[in-house]
Amino acid sequence: MIDIIINGQSAVIDNIEDIGIVSRFPNVSAFENEQASELEINVDTITVRLETKDQIIAWKDSYGAMVGIPTIIKQGTLSLDYYVDLTEGAIYSDHYVTCKLKKRKGADNFFGVAKGTTFELLAAQGLIFPTVNIPYVIVPDNQVELGVTLSISIFVMTQTVLNEAQILEALIAEAFAAVGGASAALAAAAIAKTSIQAIKVVALGFALEKLLTSLKELIFPSIRDFKGATVKSLISTYCASKGYTFQSSLLDSLPDISVLPVPLIKGKKSIFKFTQNQLKDSFTKGYPTSSDGIISTVGGLLNAMETTFNARVKVRNGVVELERRDFWKTQTAVQIAGYFTDQDTRTNRHILNTDEAFIRQYIHYQNDPQDTHTSDNFDYSVTEKGASNVNQIAPDLNLLKGLQDKAIPFAQGIAKTEFTFIEKTALALFKLIDDVLGTNTSVNIEKRKGVLQISQQFYSVPKLLIQTNGRQPSDYLSKIGAPALAANYHAIDYIENNSYSIHEMPAKMNLDEFEQMVYQEIVNVDGSNVELLEISYNLYDKRAELIFKKPNDWAIGKITTFEVN
């Protein structure tokens, strides 16, 4: 007999005999499909009477309707933690209360809260997110044009300084001659003219030095820092604050993958009042804000990771997992006997997953119109695959259709990997200047390799990058470039790698067998491992209904996926 215990007391419930247990594992994001659930009861609404009704009303009067009532659902050894939710249309009558039941630390609660929770809200509530410094340099897209303009100005200024220095030299000679033989008045006038000319030369020298400094900053910009955060630290910090544990072998394999939010200027003077050398690293908070679009919420960031890495988020028993969507297929399968899928006719039937086939797969990062470096990396920011039937009968009989559009909501963080033409050209000049000023420009510019480069201080799309000790590794694009994402994470979607048949099947089993099956998600039916899509269990007649995907070669050798240039 199933027992529902609300706040420590067995409940009197009208529809208790209708209650069973169901788990659904749709092969889509739980943020896009509200039906995802694991080991939950098959009803979400209960009607309670007598002392249970009074107990719920007393709770509401004491704690308010916005605090859930702890509930335990027990059947044999099975114990599920739930809560009574009075926030969704609870009905209060003289004789009964109708209300919702929700699973504690379950998928629906986790996803519902994460979708609406921003990182800014969490920070305002006192949650501290670990941040990392992300060095960057500004390399404007019109660097050559500005460099030429400055170079011409420097040339003209240098000529002016030399000309004025020659005049000063002549005036000094004239002053010495005047002091030696002329009247005191003429000598004083000569000295005054010499002093004025000297001041003029010094001023021009300072102006020339400033132009040289500007040119140096333009060509070899200073390294500054933004604040960002690793993806794992953002998610795990949030999960811990809500009582969940976060684990992800996917992110463990990319421990330094980081998010760089867009810069902020709230409370600061207009960006047009800054000179480049006055820009500081205080423009980002480290965690995403409302300026960062969909990743401003925890749910948005998790959904972005699902899109980027073809991953799924699962929540069970207070543990949040983020893994590539086929990760759980490696589990050890529980074995069960097969039954006819159609018991009435004692025959088997199935359908094919033809709806998962597509003619085009498009994986792409965002171009940032305010950072031209993101559009100057086309080979790694976009990849496209096409599919076609191996057997071509007639064009109108080719039934492949559909687009799988993987729009990654980040711009790539582009690393500075080599010197530009103007840098190489200018280096010889600054080596000469280094000899005069005692500086070491050539060593300093080597430090820029691997650092993030942006075309201006303020950009509009948050960036995804690999941040290792202030640099992106030389192979970062082989890990998170669009072609690498396609090969390592999205190729499993090609229909020739993903062809299944879908079956519905009844099965007799006890509660222990059902529990074990649900938590593993993979079962073995008559020697074949199959992937559960849904399983429901009737607690009274010990009967389960399974919907599962079974490997089927219907697309192998008949459809091929190819690179689209």
pLDDT reported for residue 273: 45
As a 3-state breakdown, the chain gives helix, strand, coil percent values, each rounded to 5, of 40, 30, 35
Judge whether residue 37 has pLDDT over 80.
no
Helix (H) or strand (E) holding 317: none
Q: What does the alpha-carbon distance between residue 549 and residue 541 come to, in Å, rounded to a whole number?
A: 25
For residue range 483-512, what is the model confidence (pLDDT) as tens digits?
A: 999 999 999 999 999 999 999 888 888 777
The residues with which 226 forms a beta bridge, in sequence order, are 134
Pairing mode, strands 69-75 and 3-6: antiparallel
Lowest mean pLDDT segment, chosen from 128-132, 269-273, 280-284, 298-302? 269-273
pLDDT reported for residue 57: 95
For residue 244, how many other CB atoms are within 10 A of its CB?
18
| 285 touches 127 (CB < 8 A) | no
The residues with which 505 forms a beta bridge, in sequence order, are 546
Query: What confidence tier does 351 reach under pLDDT thresholds 50, 70, 90?
Result: very high
For residue range 450-488, what is the model confidence (pLDDT) as tens digits?
A: 899 998 888 999 999 998 888 899 999 999 999 999 999
| Rounded mean pLDDT, 529-539 | 84
Q: What does the alpha-carbon distance between residue 15 and residue 101 come to, in Å, rounded to a whole number?
A: 13
| 19 touches 42 (CB < 8 A) | yes
At position 315, the amino acid (one-letter code) is V
Residue 234 in tokens: 């953002």
Sign, CA dihedral 290-296-297-303, equals positive
Q: What is the dihedral of CA 82, 84, 86, 92, to 10 degrees?
A: 160
| Rounded mean pLDDT, 141-156 | 57
Q: What is the dihedral of CA 257, 262, 265, 266, to 10 degrees?
A: -90
Q: Of 11-25, 168-182, 495-509, which has the strongest mean pLDDT?
A: 495-509
Judge whether residue 161 has pLDDT over 70.
no
End-to-end C-alpha distance for the chain, whole angstroms: 63
The residues with which 411 forms a beta bridge, in sequence order, are 463
Q: What does the alpha-carbon distance between residue 238 and residue 128 come to, in Å, rounded to a whole number?
A: 9
For residue 216, how many other CB atoms are within 10 A of its CB?
20
For residue range 224-239, what is the model confidence (pLDDT) as tens digits?
A: 899 999 999 999 999 9
Sign, CA dihedral 204-208-210-211, equals positive
Among 296, 321, 304, which residue's Cα sits nearest to residue 244? 321
For residue range 246-280, what is the model confidence (pLDDT) as tens digits?
A: 999 999 999 999 999 999 865 544 444 444 444 45
SS3 272: helix
Residue 482 in tokens: 């669009």
Residue 199 burial by CB count (10 A; 0-12/13-18/19+): exposed, middle or buried? exposed
Query: What confidence tier does 218 reach under pLDDT thresholds 50, 70, 90?
Result: low
Lowest mean pLDDT segment, chosen from 354-358, 378-382, 504-508? 504-508
The residues with which 228 forms a beta bridge, in sequence order, are 132
C-alpha neighbours within 13 Å on the C-beta side of residue 148? 4
| 244 touches 318 (CB < 8 A) | yes
| Rounded mean pLDDT, 313-319 | 85
The pTM of the full predicted model, rounded to 2 decimals, is 0.77
Q: Which residues contact 212 (CB under 8 A, 6 or more apart)?
A: 154, 433
For residue range 47-82, what is the model confidence (pLDDT) as tens digits?
A: 999 999 999 999 999 999 999 999 998 877 778 889
Where are the strands (E) in 304-417, listed by range? 311-316, 319-324, 334-336, 351-352, 360-364, 382-389, 403-407, 411-412
Delimit the domains of the chain by residue range: 3-104, 124-139+223-325+355-415+453-493, 334-353+499-563
Q: What does the alpha-carbon distance between residue 437 and residue 441 come to, in Å, rounded to a whole number?
A: 11
Residue pointed to by tokens 């993979």: 522
